[in-house]
Amino acid sequence: MPDRLSPRRVTAPEPGPGHQVAFGRPDSVAGSFAEDRPRPPARPTPPPPPEAVLRAFAPGAPGQRGLQEPPAGRPGRRRTATGPWWKADARSDPWRDPYAPAGLGAPAVYPEPEEQDGPIVVDGKGRKRVRLRDLSVRLSALVLLAVLVVGAIGGGVGWFLTRATPESPLLSPGTTLTQVDPGTTREPGSVSAIAEEVMPAVVSIEVRVGEAGATGSGVVIDGEDGYIVTNNHVVSGAADVDGAEIRAVFSDGSGSEARIVGRDPASDLAVIKVEKPGLVTATLGRSDSVVVGDPVVAIGSPLGLAGTVTSGIVSALERPVRLAGEGSDTNAVISAVQTDAPINPGNSGGALVDGTGALVGINTAIASLGGNGTTGGSIGLGFAIPIDTVRDVAEQLISTGSAVHSSLGVNARSVTDGTRDGALVLNVEPGSAAANAGIQERDVIIAIAGDPVGSSEELVVAVDRYAPGEEVTVEVVRGGGSQELRATLDAA
C-alpha cells in the first residue's frame, strides 16, 4: 500500500497542437519578446555628492553602517547644548539609521473616552467633554472656598440686618381689634332656626345601674305633665331594678329625676316622666307629610355630647329594620324613616324634625359596617321610628302603661326563588290567627291585604299596619301554586 504522506512528482501534460498554435512562439522569434519593442530611455547617472556632504553623512570607514560618532566623541547620558540630538540609543534608532530596513508596525490605538486622562476627554464622535472627577484638587478647593465665602457674606449681612432692626414691644396696652356687624341672615326654616326652636324640647337621659351607666336622648311630648318619649333600649336596663337611677338633663343645664311610665319592646319605644312642669313641648308632625328628599335635622346627645345638631335629608321611607338593643329586651321590626343625617350612639331617643321644626321621627338605630348598630359610627345610614307610630304607642303607654300590636301568629324567615321573594312559615302557633286561617308550615307568604311581602321583616311591618281584630287577606304559595286565605289578626 503506497504511503500517502510521501511526496509525488506530477508531470504536466504535453500541449496539444491547438495550444501551440494559440500560445506558441513563432519560429522567427528567438527570444521571449520581439526585438523591435520600444525601450525606455536610459536613467541618467546622478553626480557624486559634494565633499562636505560626504564628510558629514558618509560612513567613517569602509563597511561601517549607521551614524558616525559626534564630533566631540561619544554622547553624554543626557542631551546637552553641544549635542542636542544624541542619546545613548541613537546608534540603534531606526529613524536615524539610513540603512535600517522598512517594516509595518501595529495600527494606531486610540484610548476610549473613559480611559483618557485629564478633565477634558473626547468621546466617540470627536466631541470634547469636561469630566468633573478629573478636575484638579486646586480647582475643587477653589470652588469650595468660593461657596464658603458667599455663605459667610450672606450670613453676616443677615445678622447685621437683624441686629440693626429694633424689636417691637411684646405687649401693646389698650389694643382693640376691629369688628363688623354680623352679615349672616338666619331665615325661618334654616338649620340654625330649627335648632333654636327644637333644642329646648330635647333632653339628655342618663341611666345609672350600680357602677354601670349609659346615656341617650329623649323628646318632651307633654310639657305640662312632664312626659318624655325615648327608646326602650335606653331605659330598659333600669326597669324593675332596685337602686337604678334615671335622670333627664335639659338644654339649660338643669336636671330632674325621671320614672319609667311604660315600655314597648316590640316598637323600641318608652315613656318616662319628670316632675318639672312648664317644659317646652315638641311639635308633632305627620308621617304622610314626609317624602324622600325632604331636609331633616337630628338633635340629641351622641357620644354623650348634649345638644348636638346634624342635618341631612330623608333618603328612604318604610324601610323594614330589625332592632335588637344590646343588653335590653328590645326585639322589634319597624318601618323606619331612613336619613343620611349623621346619627351616632347616644342619639337614640332623640328628635328627627323636618324643615318646619315638627317632629317626624325618633332616632333609634344606625347601619354599621361592623354589624353592631350600638357601638359603630355613622356611615350616613340612620333610622328613625315614624311619628305616627310614636304617637300611637306613646298614647297607649301614658294611658295604660303598655302597648298592643297585631299578630298573625307565625315564625318566618326570608326566602327567594330567584324571581320572587317571600316569608317562609317555619311554625304556626296553635289557636293563632294563622292557624284559624289555614296557614301551614312551609307556606310562603307573598302578600298581606294585597301589599307585597318580600321578607320576614316586611311581614311583621305589614301585619302591624292593622289593628287587632281586623280581617286581612293572606296570599301564600303552596305546592307550586298561590292561594288567598283570610285571617282575623290577634292582639299581642
Residue among 217, 233, 328, 443 flagged as catalytic:
233
Distance CA 159, CA 139 (A): 30
Distance CA 465, CA 445 (A): 16
* Measured CA distances, 13 to 7, 10, 16, 244, 342 (Å): 19, 9, 9, 141, 120
CA 444 to chain centre: 45
Q: Which of 391, 387, 389, 340 is nearest to 366 (CA)?
A: 340
Distance CA 324, CA 329 (A): 8
CB 358 within 8 A of CB 285: yes
The answer for residues whose C-beta is within 8 angstroms of residue 45's C-beta and 6 or more apart is none
Distance CA 471, CA 469 (A): 7
Residue among 204, 267, 335, 348 flagged as catalytic:
348
**Cell numbers linked to 67:** 551614524
Q: Is 268 among the catalytic positions? A: yes
CB 212 within 8 A of CB 245: no
Burial of 472 (0-12, 13-18, 19+ CB in 10 A): buried
Q: Which of 222, 318, 233, 221 is nearest to 269 (CA)?
A: 233
Distance CA 15, CA 17 (A): 7
Q: Is 242 among the catalytic positions? A: no
Burial of 271 (0-12, 13-18, 19+ CB in 10 A): buried
Residue among 217, 236, 267, 268 flagged as catalytic:
268
Q: Which of 437, 420, 450, 443 is nearest to 487 (CA)?
A: 437
Would residue 425 be called left, alpha or beta, if left means φ above 0 and alpha means ψ between -120 and 50 degrees? beta
Work out the end-to-end distance of the chain between its first and last CA atoms, rounded to an integer number of angstroms.
129
Question: Would you name the residues annotated as active-site residues?
Answer: 233, 268, 348
